[in-house]
A and B are shown apart, each in its own frame.
Chain A
Amino acid sequence: MNCTRGAPRPDRLGAYAAALSALRRLATLERSDPERTELREFVIGEYMSYARYVAGRFRQRGESAEDLEQVAYVGLVKAVDSYDAEFHTTFLTYATPVITGEIKRHFRDTTWDVHVPRRMQELSAALRHARESMAHELGRDPTVSELADRLDASTEEIVNAMDASAVYNASSLDVPVGLSDGDGATLGELIGADDPAYGQVIDREALKPVLAELDERDKRILLLRYFRNMSQTEIGEEIGVSQMQVSRLLTRILGRLRSALGVGSG
């Protein structure tokens, strides 16, 4: 198998041995030593495939593979620069958590696709909690002014925070990984969107309660797909997730629609 993205092959370990001795030598050199730059580049280059391998374990979480690899490389560079053979056993056991740490930090920092001011992020989180607890207390969805009172914010801030949470990309670490039906190639068949009679079959009243259970992002995805006729890739760009994830989300959303509307799968 000629695959550089899998787990390191045994002959790769031989190459790592050369990299490891270079790494040891690197640690002994002064920061200003001209040989350092060259050695550092060599070592980083040698371990790049390993960084990609680590990045690969975080795929299917809605981030593009290239972005993940870039982040993994940053982690690798950090690991190379901070590795100390006297303290750390092998380079890989030291580097792996550094690289995964970098990737996790990336997920944590960038799940907000659009830069949202801190106050908005906090308000947005507070809003979700307040909405849930108030819905529980009141037995209905709270109005914006009720939420504003509870959170000591203006209605304007609440509406803006809604805007902020609408761009929140939920494709973080809590997204289920590896749904087996995630290829999405049969989505059109699932719902029969090309069938002109469909609109008459599912009337608005039947759709209403089903849609009411979806969150705003899911509804938006449905509209982008079936109202604007966007491709999965275009939808991904619009809401800031990968095409793969759009595919998975659509499969899930349509699955819910289908079962709720009693449309047979087929």
Chain B
Amino acid sequence: MAQRIQVTRVNGRTTPEIASVLLTVPAHQDYIVIVRSAVAQLAACFGFTLGEIGDLRLAVDEACNLLVAGAGADLAASGLQCQAGVRGDELRVMVAASAAAADPPDTDGLGWAILNALVDGLDWERDHDVVRVHVAKRRGTGAG
């Protein structure tokens, strides 16, 4: 499956105010690393610390895993979408996949609480046959 990667960013040392990354990869575990790395690179460009990026990567990794948990070979083609953007001090990531591939999170569980504590915003929604997870991480909050 073709991957569409589109990076909107002005090159150079001056950090643009707003940048966004859009990518679609197969809805399969093996491709999560692409999403995770892309988000980490974006955060690195925007002055996030290693600790913050580490937490963000963990959260994105888990969010993506959640979305492809139930995906077999047939659903992999349906794709895992990622949209990441920076606005001011906050980096927002939205990952989405077919509801058939996703495993709805147990938001009362300890796992969700831990994931929530690693980032500054965490939410999920089901919209017809699509499940989306939103993750937000602020820069310079001193975590990590």
Contact = CB atoms under 8 A, between A and B. Distances in A.
B58 A144 contact: no
Helix, strand, loop or mixed for chain B's interface? helix
B1 interface: no
Interface string B25-59: 00000000000010011011101111111110110
Nearest to B105: A227
Given A162-B53, A216-B58, A203 B143 contact: no
A162 B54 contact: yes
Interface residues of B, number: 35
Contacts of B57: 162
B113 A147 contact: no
Interface string B10-22: 0000000000000
A220 B49 contact: no
B62 interface: yes
Contacts of A34: none
A220 B54 CA distance: 10
Given A162-B53, A204-B117, A208-B143, A199 B110 contact: yes
A260 interface: no
B126 to A, nearest CB: 18
B111 A226 contact: yes
A196 B51 contact: no
B116 to A, nearest CB: 5
A155 interface: yes
A155 B15 CA distance: 13
B117 A211 contact: yes
Contact of B109 (A163, A166, A208, A226): A226
Interface of B: 37, 40-41, 43-45, 47-55, 57-58, 62, 65, 105, 107-118, 142-144
15 contacts: A131-B50, A141-B144, A144-B47, A145-B47, A156-B44, A159-B41, A159-B44, A163-B40, A198-B113, A202-B110, A216-B58, A219-B55, A227-B62, A227-B115, A229-B111
